[in-house]
Copies of this chain bind each other. A is one copy, B any other.
Amino acid sequence: MFETIIHPRVSETDAVGHINNTVVPIWFEAARRDLFAVFGPPDDFSQWRMIVASFTVNFEHELTYPAPVTARVWVERIGNSSLTLHEELHQHGRRCAVSSTNYVNVSPDTKRPERVSDEIRHALEPHMLPATEHSERTS
């Protein structure tokens, strides 16, 4: 699991009074920082491999300023050339948002889907969502 602490920003609130819903995908992407580094040199975008195919977000409790938010990212599934993430945001000790994101691993040269290498599969192993935990977390 990759874990990051996020400090909500005033600019991320909205006039309804809480964190605006559109901020949540931004936080989830921010929480993938160390995951991205597994797929290539993080400062060389010409070698970028990770293209988002789809994502879902479910809101369970409102997120507010300024209490810190814990973002957790698990790899739920590694397909041939794709990857599914399970992600959660926790604030005040409770889960506030859950997300599922599908990435395609592309060749930096051809921009076409490419098999996730064994090296990357190996590096992601410690971050896989355990099967038992999966049914609880997504139910």
Stoichiometry, as copies per complex, reads 4
Answer yes or no: A56 CB below 8 A from chain B CBs.
yes
Instruction: State in angstroms the CA–CA spacing of A68 and B45 once bound together.
Output: 17
Answer yes or no: A65 CB below 8 A from chain B CBs.
yes
Decide if A14 touches B13 in the complex (CB within 8 Å).
Answer: yes
How close is A104's CB to chain B, nearest CB, in angstroms? 9
Decide if B59 touches A57 in the complex (CB within 8 Å).
Answer: no
Q: Majority SS of interface residues in chain A?
A: mixed
Answer yes or no: A79 CB below 8 A from chain B CBs.
no
Decide if B10 touches A20 in the complex (CB within 8 Å).
Answer: yes
Decide if B33 touches A11 in the complex (CB within 8 Å).
Answer: no
Answer yes or no: A36 CB below 8 A from chain B CBs.
yes
Decide if A9 touches B30 in the complex (CB within 8 Å).
Answer: yes
The 7 closest A-B pairs by CB, nearest first: A13-B15, A15-B45, A21-B52, A56-B56, A9-B30, A54-B58, A22-B25
